[in-house]
Structure formats: structure tokens, C-alpha cells
Amino acid sequence: MSDGPDDTTHPDGGTHPDGDDWFALSELTLRLGGLIWVEEAVGSLLREWTADEPHVGARLAFSETGTHHAWHGEILRGLLATSPALRSTYSVRPPTENWKRAVDELTPVSETATRLLVVTRALHPWLDREFAALCDLSVQTSDRPLVRQLGFAALDHGHDTRVIADVAETVTGGVVPLGATRLVSSLGLVER
């Protein structure tokens, strides 16, 4: 009988690999790479929408929110593991096939209400869930810089989501277009 923890007990109380309560560095790198891809893709998408958005309030919200997403991607890139083995295996790429398809489908969307609702009902909720999962599964001692940056990004997302939701309320009068609801559902980003 051993007096110390067994080899699957982590100092922060989680277990690994059997319990899978905390990330191995490779898992964290893969998941973080997906999050970076999403932040950068959403930033680019919103900046594209800004260029041709006729509604001034939506244009300003897309511009500011797009800038925030691009900045989050840049900061999070600085937190990726620097191990050559991890860098060659785990790159910044879509976390799921649905994300690549979603960005391709959303790029040509031109209706203001649909754009606003996609952000508040699909894109930001996915990011909020991913932030929470990464924070919950990160090792609080070694992953503290990541948890701190995710907290800052979550503050931006909360503010941006409220601003976009307010603009959406103004644009739609509280009536959600059926086409927007169908599009959000078809993207495969919303938990069911």
C-alpha cells in the first residue's frame, strides 16, 4: 500500500488518463488550436460583413466584435505549446467539420437580422461553451495564463453579445425570421 497518490492522480485533484478530468498537453493544444481557428474565422467573417452592412448599428457592432475575435485569436496563439512535436501534429484548424462548413455558408449571408441572430444564437454560444470547457478542464497551476486570457475574452464576448442582441432587437422588433432560425439550426454548432 502506498502513502502517496497513485500515478493517475493529478496534484490539483483530477485524474488522468483513466478519469480524464484534466487535459494532457496534447489534448489542450488540439482544443486550443480549434478555438484559435474559430476566433480568427469569426473575426474575419464579421469584418467581411462590416464592409457591406447597411444598418449602421449592426455595422459598428460587427466591426468591434470582429476586432475582438481577431485579437483573441492573436493572444491565444501566443499560448500554444511550443514543442516541435506538438506544433507539427496539432495545428490551428477547425475544431469540427461543421465549423468550416458554417463559415463557408455564413460568408454570403446579407440579411442584417440573420447575421445578428447567427452571432447571438450560434457563434457566441459555441465560444462560451468552449471557453467554459477549457477553463474547467485546464490545470489551474500550469494553465493559469490560458485561464486568465479566456476570462478576458469571455468578458468581451459577454459585452459583444449584449450589444449585438440589442441591435437585433432593434432590427427585428423581437420577431425572429424563420430563415434565421433554420440557418442557425442547420449550422450544427448549437447543442440540442
Q: Which domain CATH number covers 168?
A: 1.20.1260.10
Inside any domain, residue 16: no
pLDDT digits (tens, 9 = 90+) for 52-84: 999 999 999 999 999 999 999 999 998 887 777
In contact, 115 and 183? CB cutoff 8 Å: no
User: Is residue 19 included in any domain, yes or no?
Assistant: no
- Count Cβ atoms below 10 Å from residue 23 Cβ, excluding itself: 21
6 occurs within a structural domain:
no
Residues 6+ away with beta carbon under 8 Å from 41: 94, 99, 103
Q: What is the per-residue pLDDT across 132-189, written as a single tens digit (0 to 9) for each?
A: 888 887 777 678 888 899 999 999 999 999 999 999 999 999 898 898 899 999 998 8
**Does 130 map to a domain?**
yes
Domain membership flag for residue 2? no
C-alpha grid cell, residue 96: 469540427
Residue at grid coordinates 445578428: 116
Q: How far is CA 110 from CA 95, 150, 177, 180, in A?
A: 26, 30, 14, 11
Containing H/E element for 51? helix 25-52
Apex CA 72: angle with CA 40 and CA 150, to 5°? 125
Range of the domain at 59: 25-186
Domain count, the chain: 1
Establish if 4 belongs to a structural domain: no
* Residue 11 falls inside a structural domain: no
Instruction: Look at residue 114 and tell me if it is in a domain.
Output: yes
